[in-house]
Each structure stands twice: as structure tokens, then as C-alpha cells.
Amino acid sequence: MAKYLITGGSKLEGTIRVTGAKNSILPILAAALLTTKQVVINDCPSLADIEKVLGILRAVGCKVKREKRTLIIDPSTITTWVIPDEYVKQIRSSIIFLGAMIARAGKARVTYPGGCEIGQRPIDLHLYGLKRLGIKINDSHGYIECEASKMLGADIHLDYPSVGATENIILAATAAQGYTIIRNAAKEPEIKDLQDFINAIGGRVSGAGTSTIVVEGRKPKNGTEYTIIPDRIVAGTYLTAGAITGGDLLVENVVLDHIQPIIAKLRESGAIIKASGTSVRIIGRERPLPIYHTTTLPYPGFPTDMQAQLMSLLSVASGTSVLVETIFENRFKHVPELIRLGANIRTDGKTAVIQGVEKLIGTTVSSWDLRGGAALVLAGLRAEGETVVENIHHIDRGYECLEGNLRSVGAQIERLED
């Protein structure tokens, strides 16, 4: 297993460019199944999760070619409606292929998905929405089999604004007769990106970014060339790296509206933020200020995917901070590892109380999930001495060449392969 060796204490200075959003690319790759024409998708980083989804596309018969950060997909040659188990068990977001394959082939079969163990992420809302469209679902023996002889648009109200359920319903509804209305829909920017891609290939979806999305049953038939939005979580992670090291960092290729909740918290921590166009400059303090209270919420609230990174920053703040995790119940797995580095953190259910310490001390820690792993890297950048972060295959799921990007702005970090 690969690991990172980090020598802390360097202030990050320079420029980092953010690539396309992982959480946009994955549903958009599934949406490529909706058309039979070639699609070209730009600014796709090389990430473990993306490569697994490309494996799914190839397994069902698509022709896939990568040219640096550009993906060229020919979905005209699909040969099966069965999504292969070997990929689905490795990546939870593969459930998004359910709606796309139903729209394309009228049926689909998928095993229950795997992925990071950050808490229960039931797919009840996905199946509820699909059933409302008239899809027959057989859910037994670890598999989900769907058949749709005739789908009709429906008025669907989600009990919770689930991103995955919203995306799955949008994808399936493109093949339903009439109009589908999704109420209490997720508002994340990645939903808007999926809408824009579907419309680019000839679909008709509106309302993404609001709580009500309307899908007109209209099978997409066009090809397109499309550029993915920047990854707001990667941007937030690098900005937090600048803050925790007291550095002066410029992060390029961002959509400022998408990262406002993150910027607001970094400003609360005392960092100076200068935002202009598609760039954000952060100048960190020698020691961050505590943040009285932060609660993770669906967009446009503070993202759960930035909770762990913010906790690393607050672990060296000059006072006490409180973090409340409302999205996933097991998303404090990084806490014991931060404590190993010298952090003073207490958890009680969904709440973490962080008493900032003057310094962290390097040691060996283990990554248990994607964002928690990134948080440990940030802590290692601040810690005195050497920090070893093990199990970094989790980090590879969402960050392209994290060590190279950090080294380019002055971090002392190297990747070691066992």
C-alpha cells in the first residue's frame, strides 16, 4: 500500500489549479449512456473513482478513450444492461448507472454498491423515485433488477434532498412520457452540471440549483463536447492547506459561488481571502482563530466533504471550536488519527469539540476515507517533524497527484510505494 511521508513546517506559497469536479464527472459519465452519439468531456482528472466508472462503461460495451484530461466516449455499441459487480462494489456512486441504463435499455441490473465507510447511505429514495416513474423493481439477494416497459412522468417529493436520488431520477425521467417534477431536490452545483450536460445532448431539464427540477420526457440523441465544472471540494482543501500552514496561496479555476460556504469559514478562522474572477488567494495566520460553531448541511450549507479538513485547521486554533456533522453518522473516523498527532478533540454523537493546541507532532496515522485522509495530510503539513499517512488509496479516489501539487507550492511531501 502507498503512503505519504510529510515533513511539516513549510508555508505553502504559489499557485495551484483545480481540475474538474469528481462528483460531476461520475453522473455525467453515466448520462453518456442516454445518447448513441459520441461525447467528449474535458477537464477530467485521473482519479481512482473515475477510472472505475470508465471500467463500467467499457464493460457494458462503450468505447472509451482518454487523451490527457479529455475523455472521448462512444456509447453506440452498448451490449448489456447488467452493471458489472466488480466495479459497483468498489464505488458507491455507481448506483447512478441505474437510472441511466433504465433510460437507455428499459431495464437494468446492479448489485448493492460499496465505497467509503462514512455512514449509512441508503438508496431507498432512489428506488422510491424510480418506482414513481412506473419502473418495476425486484430488490433481493443483494441485487436490484429494474424493468420499465412504460415510464410515465410523475410528481415526486423527496423526504431528503439526496444528491444521488435527484440525479438518478433525472436520468431515468428523460425516457418517461410527459413531465417529471422533483420536489425538495438537491441543489448542489453538480446537479446543475448534470442538467447542462443532458441538455447539451438533446434532453430538456430545468430548475437544477433550486428545490424543484422539471424533466421533460425527451430522449437525448445528440453528441457534444462538454467541460466539467471545477471541483469545489478540491479547491476548499487546497485553500485550507494554505490556511493551516500560514501560507500565501493562489487557487485557480474555481467558481466562487460554489465555494462561498468554505470561504466564509476560512475568513472566520482569520485567513485573508482575496477573490477575483476564477481565482482565490488565501493568506493564512500564524495560528488560526477558533470558529464557534459549524454545522454540515446540504448545499448551500457548509459541505460535509470539508468537515474533516476544517477540523484539522481548527485543531491548531487559538481557542475552542465546535463542529456538528448532520449528514453522515460515521464521519469522525479521522478524529482518533488527529489525536495521535496531538490534537485535543472530544466527540459526542454528531458533535466534535476541538480545543486548539499550539502544535501538532508528527507520527504515523491511517486514512480511513477520502476526505479524512486529506485532512490528515493537511495536519501533517502543520505538524512538527515527520508524519506518515498510510492507506492513501482512499485519497487517490478524489485528488489527482495531491503530493505533486503540494510540492509545487513548497510542501515537503513524497509518495512511498510499499
- CATH of residue 157's domain is 3.65.10.10
Same domain, yes or no, for 212 and 268?
A: no
Q: What's the confidence (pLDDT) of residue 114?
A: 54
Per DSSP, the three-state class of 116 is coil
Q: CB–CB of 165/192 below 8 Å?
A: no
Same domain, yes or no, for 247 and 200?
A: no
Over residues 192-216, the mean pLDDT reads: 98
* SS (HEC) of 131-142: HHCCCEEEEECC
Per-residue pLDDT tens digits for 338-364: 999 999 999 999 999 999 999 999 999
Domain span at residue 124 reads 22-227
Look over the chain and give the mean of its residue pLDDT values, rounded to a whole number.
95
DSSP symbol at 299: T
- The lowest-confidence range among 42-46, 93-97, 361-365 is 93-97
Same domain, yes or no, for 173 and 291?
A: no
Residue where a domain terminates, one of 227, 242, 261: 227
Same domain, yes or no, for 257 and 400?
A: yes
Residue where a domain terminates, one of 195, 227, 259: 227
Q: In the structure, what pLDDT confidence band is assigned to residue 118 with cuts at 50, 70 and 90? A: very low
- Identify the residue whose cell numbers are 466516449: 73
Same domain, yes or no, for 153 and 263?
A: no
**Nearest-angstrom CA–CA distance, 67 and 59:** 20
The answer, yes or no, to whether residue 115 has pLDDT greater than 80, is: no
Same domain, yes or no, for 142 and 291?
A: no
Same domain, yes or no, for 10 and 89?
A: no
Residue where a domain terminates, one of 227, 243, 268: 227
Same domain, yes or no, for 365 and 286?
A: yes
Over residues 185-207, the mean pLDDT reads: 98
Tell me the C-alpha to C-alpha distance, in Å, between residue 27 and each of 145, 249, 284. Answer: 20, 31, 35
Same domain, yes or no, for 178 and 67?
A: yes
Number of domains in the chain: 2
Per-residue pLDDT tens digits for 164-177: 999 999 999 999 99
Per DSSP, the three-state class of 160 is coil
Same domain, yes or no, for 323 and 412?
A: yes
The answer, yes or no, to whether residue 121 has pLDDT greater than 60, is: no
Q: What's the confidence (pLDDT) of residue 129?
A: 96
Catalytically active residues, by annotation: 116
DSSP symbol at 338: H
Element (H, E) at 396: helix 393-396
Report the predicted TM-score, pTM, of the whole model to 2 decimal places: 0.96
Same domain, yes or no, for 244 and 220?
A: no
Tell me the C-alpha to C-alpha distance, in Å, between residue 228 and each of 24, 61, 161, 344, 410. Answer: 7, 24, 22, 39, 28
The answer, yes or no, to whether residue 246 has pLDDT greater than 50, is: yes
Q: Which three cell numbers stand for residue 405?
A: 501539487
- Identify the CA nearest to 333 among candidates 281, 391, 287, 293: 391
Q: CB–CB of 266/239 below 8 Å?
A: yes
Per-residue pLDDT tens digits for 211-236: 999 999 999 999 999 999 999 999 99
Neighbours of 270 (CB within 10 A): 18
Same domain, yes or no, for 260 and 223?
A: no
**Nearest-angstrom CA–CA distance, 156 and 165:** 11
